[in-house]
Amino acid sequence: MVSTVIPVHPFDLVIFGATGDLSHRKILPSLYRRMLVGQMPAGSRLIGAARSKMTRAEFRKTVREALGEFVEAKHQKPEAIEEFLNAIDYVAIDATGDAGWGALAKKLDEKPDNIRAFYLSVAPALFAPIAARLAQTGIATPESRIVVEKPLGHDLASAKTLNAELRKHFHESQIYRIDHYLGKETVQNLMAIRFANALFEPLWNSHYVEQVQITVAESIGVAGRGAYYDKSGAMRDMVQNHMMQLLCLTAMEPPSKFDPDAVRDEKLKVIRALDPLKVSDTVRGQYRAGGGDGSYLDHVGNPASRTESFVGLRVHIANWRWSGTPFYLRTGKKLTARVSEICVVFKHPPHTIFPQVDTLRGNALIIRLQPNEGITLRVAIKDPGPGGMRLVEVPLDMTFAGTLGPDGDLPEAYERLIMDVIRGNQTLFMRGDEVEAAWEWADPILTAWEESGSRPMPYDPGSAGPIDVYKLTGSDGHLWREIAA
Ligand SMILES: NC(=O)C1=CN([C@@H]2O[C@H](COP(=O)(O)OP(=O)(O)OC[C@H]3O[C@@H](n4cnc5c(N)ncnc54)[C@H](OP(=O)(O)O)[C@@H]3O)[C@@H](O)[C@H]2O)C=CC1
Ligand SMILES: O=C1O[C@H](COP(=O)(O)O)[C@@H](O)[C@H](O)[C@H]1O
């Protein structure tokens, strides 16, 4: 299968924080891969900006090293790397000082017709000062785009402040808030499956859906990121943003069209329809030491930490479509496997004419984000052979890798999202009101946990989380799906 590459207009992408980890691991390799497929037209430039004083040649050397480390071997093509490096420039700018802005303005003015985008790959405290400088110096034009990424606030108040700061200088239509889960191929496919097929939508409601499970399990711990993570925890790090987006796309009404505001309006309605979370509908966990590795407390270097590395939730959406259908969410570090999926479990038929088989779990649509991106429909059929009319459940598999063939590559989330910035398409980016509404929902439970003074439940590395997470589903007579890669 050959995927279509949509041409883009020549662009200048200025990466603030270009010497940092995100730039090296994700942004630059993604741009390189897009260049390989012809999405970096001649005349486009990538302008690194960071505090470090270095020449263009020195910066290019760091980019070459980053590509060497973070681009798959099969894509390491010397000629292409040279071509990519030729498009790279650098300006030393301290975001909080005066130096460097003039040089950046001069460079950008060399190509006034290029699309201008500014990627703020820096600490959130620098978002407002950089946005202000870009506006005050006239570097940002009314058509320019600004890209920011999580953490978009620590709570509702800080998210509102951040939005207000950005909106002082940029219109909402210029602000691209990245949630990299929205760039994942299967997440976009969730919309295709729901809204391009007549098959599912009539069943997509509480009359037919028994329960929905959203799992984002990771096998890694927080070692190396402890300083950030311990101030955040799984609720802020994963639930308020990535999992909320998955929940919204699963539960939203069909938008009237596939345009940014139509989609984001529907997502916002889901967040606003969420019932307030009760503490009894939540489970927090912290991983123990095991398998030769330290515990969460060791990894964050804080023996008194009450930050959660696991969250399980039972969520209710108070609207006509979903009233009565529980949505179970769980995410955590150091679990059995790295698995992200959404599982929509349908109700059993109202009457069965076949011999009862206890192992039948019911139809389910499993949307697998990673690994093995794809969609599976679990259906009941007759157990093949002469054994009589016994039923068995089999997967109807729509794994994307199979469709793409053995050498097929799905674009990385950042590739898709950065190109959408250049194309000026905000559909897969969070609008400011969505971010605030998600914090408004998350804040009370974060406060309740904090005020309770209780500690998260310990769980073993390699497990499915703390034992109490089974009570969330068990009390409704449901079972979590196994976490298996
Ligand atoms: N790393 C990741 O995987 C992810 C990161 N993020 C977010 O992205 C942002 C960047 O993260 P990350 O790359 O890991 O951070 P790093 O600490 O690795 O890099 C920070 C970058 O900011 C630059 N910088 C720091 N202070 C200034 C300043 N005063 N003026 C100009 N530039 C400055 C640094 O430049 P210099 O080296 O010259 O000082 C460096 O390029 C953060 O907000 C983070 O939360 C979000 C998701 C994932
Ligand atoms: O944003 C984050 O996401 C990663 C998980 O992303 P994935 O694409 O690998 O599923 C998570 O590890 C990290 O803690 C969080 O900040």
Residue-range domains of the chain with CATH: 11-149 (3.40.50.720), 182-474 (3.30.360.10)
3-state helix, strand, coil in the chain (%, to 5): 40, 20, 40
pLDDT over 90 (residue 8) = no
pLDDT of residue 127: 97
- Return the ligand 2 atom nearest residue 216 CA: 10
Ramachandran class of 324: left when φ > 0, alpha when ψ lies in -120 to 50, beta otherwise: left
pLDDT of residue 25: 96
Q: How far apart are CA 47 and CA 59, in angstroms?
A: 10
Q: Among residues 37, 120, 18, 117, which one has the least CA distance to residue 75?
A: 37
- Return the ligand 1 atom nearest residue 180 CA: 47
Q: How far apart are CA 208 and CA 349, in angstroms?
A: 9
Give the per-residue SS3 of 73-91: HHHCCHHHHHHHHHCEEEE
Please list the residues that pair with 175 across neighbouring strands: 146
Distance (Å) from CA 282 to ligand 1 centroid:
33
Instruction: Determine the residue of 54, 121, 176 to mutate for testing ligand 1's pocket, defined as the one with the most ligand atoms within 8 A of the Cβ atom.
Output: 121
Longest CA–CA separation in the chain, Å: 82
Which ligand is closest to the CA of 340, given by its number?
2
| 291-332 confidence digits (pLDDT tens) | 999 999 999 999 999 999 999 999 999 999 999 999 999 999
Tokens of 15: 């990466």
Distance (Å) from CA 420 to ligand 1 centroid:
22
- Return the ligand 2 atom nearest residue 242 CA: 1
Q: How far apart are CA 242 and CA 259, in angstroms?
A: 20
Pairing relationship of beta strands 209-217 and 339-346 according to DSSP bridges: antiparallel
Is 77 annotated as contributing to ligand binding? Answer: no
Q: Global pTM? A: 0.95
Is 180 annotated as contributing to ligand binding? Answer: yes
Q: What is the ipTM of this complex?
A: 0.98
Using a 6 Å CB cutoff, which residues line ligand 2?
218, 237, 340
What percent of the chain stands above pLDDT 90?
87
Instruction: Answer whether 108's CB lies under 8 Å from 141's CB.
Output: no
Which ligand is closest to the CA of 413, given by its number?
2
| 236-251 confidence digits (pLDDT tens) | 999 999 999 999 999 9
Question: Is 207 tagged catalytic?
Answer: no
Distance (Å) from CA 104 to ligand 1 centroid:
19
Rounded average pLDDT over 187-216 = 95
At residue 351, what is the residue type? H
Is 237 annotated as contributing to ligand binding? Answer: yes
Which ligand is closest to the CA of 341, given by its number?
2
Residue 11 CA: distances (Å) to CA of 49, 114, 116, 121, 421: 16, 5, 6, 18, 10
Closest residue CA from atom 8 of ligand 2? 181
Is 160 annotated as contributing to ligand binding? Answer: no
Closest residue CA from atom 16 of ligand 2? 237
| 326-357 confidence digits (pLDDT tens) | 999 999 999 999 999 999 999 999 888 887 77
